[in-house]
Amino acid sequence: MDFIDEVRALAARIATAKDMVQTEEATKNAMVMPFIHLLGYNVFDPLEVTPELIADVGTKKGEKVDYAILKDGKPIMLFECKKSGGDLNINHASQLFRYFHVTEARFGVLTNGLVYRFFTDLEQPNKMDEKPFFEFNIADFRDQDVDELKKFAKAAFDLENILTTANHLKYTRAIKNTLNSWMAEPPEEFVRLVSAEFLAGKQFRTTVKDQFTQITKHAFQQLVADKINDRLKGAMTPETALLPSVPQAESETASGDASEPTGIEVEAYQIIRAILRPVVSPGMVAIRGAASYCAILFDDNNRKPICRLRFKNESRLVIGVFDDKKEEDRLHLENLDAIFELADRLKACASAYMKPAREVENAAA
C-alpha cells in the first residue's frame, strides 16, 4: 500500500472514531500513536519512540515530553499532545518551547490528534519558532500535504533536506495567508497598484477607491473560481469517458425510467470526487442517472448512496446528502461551487462506508 493510501485509511478510521475520543490520553492512544506508526516508527520500541521523555528545564525538574522520536539514541522529533479537537494556539506550545531548548531535536510537533503543526528553529538556533512551517490536517489534506508529511517518515527522514524545504514552506505559508487576507479585504495600496493603468491619471478619491476595491475583490474571487474549474476539467475530463453506464434493470426510480447524466450533473460529480479524494479512491465514487435525480454512489452500490443530484428542475439546484442512517437531507445550492461547503458531510458519509469495506478486506486476508 502506498503512503498516501495509508494516510487515507488512517483518516477514515479517525473520522469514524474521533467523536468517541474525549481525553488527552485517549487521543494519544487512538490518534497520535497510529499517526507516528504511519510514519514508520515503532511505537512499541522505547529506543525509537520514547513516551514521556524527561526534559529538565533549569530549576524545573521532571518535565516530560509526550513522545520523542529517536535516531541513534538522540531525539529528532518531539510531540506535545492535546485532547482531540482542542485548541492549538501558541500558548499551548509553551511546554514544547521548553523541551525544544534542552534537547537536540530540530522538530517539534503540536497536535490534537487531527491537526499536526510542525515547528523548527529557522529564526534563531536552538529556539523554536513561534509559527509552524508546516501544518497537516488528517481530516482535510491534499496530495501535496502528504508529499511534505512523507519527508518526516523514518525511511525518508533527512534533516538537511527537511530544513531546506522548511524555510520555503514557512514563507510560502505566510504569503498565502497575506494573499488570502487581501482576497477578503484588498488593502488600499494593492488596489492602487492593480487599478493604476485604468485610472488614466484620475485622482484616487474615496468613491474611486471604494469602486475599485469591490472590483478587485470580485476579480480575486472570479480568478480562484476559474482556477478551480480549470483544474477540475483538466484533471478529470479524460475520465468522463469511463463513467459507468446506467443499467436499465437497476434503475432507482419506481417507474424504471433512467437517463444518462447531464453535463451539469457530471460537473457536480467531478467536484464531489475531488472533495472525497482524501478519504476514498476516486474510482470508488460512481454516478448513476435516474429519471428524477442522479445518484452518487459508493462503490457503484445502490445501497450506499453518498448524495443525490436533483437538478432535473433547471430553475433550482438541489442536492440530497445522506447521513450515517442513510437519511437524505435536501439542500438548495446557489451554484456548483456551493458543494465545497458540504465537504465535511460528504466525507463523513463516504468514510462510514469505508469502514465495513476495510473490515471485509481484513477478514479475507
Instruction: With a cut of 60, say whether residue 234 has pLDDT above it.
Output: no
Amino acid identity for residue 100 in this structure? F
Q: Tell me what pLDDT residue 244 has.
A: 46
* Residue 241 confidence class, pLDDT cut points 50, 70, 90: very low
Edge to edge, what strands does the sheet with 115-119 contain? Answer: 49-54, 64-71, 74-81, 107-111, 115-119, 134-137
What is the rounded CA–CA span in Å between residue 349 and residue 306?
A: 6
Contact 284, 245 (CB under 8 A): no
Q: pTM here?
A: 0.53
Instruction: With a cut of 80, say whether residue 16 has pLDDT above it.
Output: yes
Instruction: With a cut of 70, say whether residue 238 has pLDDT above it.
Output: no
CA 237 to chain centre: 23
Amino acid identity for residue 178 in this structure? T
Closest CA to 326 of 308, 344, 300: 308
Q: Tell me what pLDDT residue 215 has.
A: 84
| 305's grid cell | 448512496
Q: Tell me what pLDDT residue 70 has.
A: 92
Instruction: With a cut of 90, say whether residue 93 has pLDDT above it.
Output: no
* Residue 358 confidence class, pLDDT cut points 50, 70, 90: low
Q: How far is CA 14 from each of CA 68, 117, 276, rounded to the nearest angstrom?
A: 22, 18, 15
Q: Tell me what pLDDT residue 251 has.
A: 38
Please give the mean pLDDT across all residues of the chain. Answer: 81
How many CB atoms sit inside 10 A of residue 280's CB? 23
Segment 60-64 shows an average pLDDT of 63
Burial of 362 (0-12, 13-18, 19+ CB in 10 A): exposed
Q: Tell me what pLDDT residue 56 has.
A: 53
In 115-213, DSSP assigns E strands to: 115-119, 134-137
Instruction: With a cut of 70, say whether residue 285 has pLDDT above it.
Output: yes
Name 152's Cβ contacts closer than 8 Å, sequence gap at least 6: 39, 77, 107, 118, 162
What is the rounded CA–CA span in Å between residue 183 and residue 33?
A: 38
Instruction: With a cut of 80, say whether residue 361 has pLDDT above it.
Output: no
Segment 19-48 shows an average pLDDT of 92
What is the rounded CA–CA span in Å between residue 268 and residue 342?
A: 12
What is the rounded CA–CA span in Å between residue 291 and residue 254?
A: 9
Instruction: With a cut of 70, say whether residue 163 has pLDDT above it.
Output: yes
Q: Tell me what pLDDT residue 40 has.
A: 95
Instruction: With a cut of 50, say whether residue 19 has pLDDT above it.
Output: yes
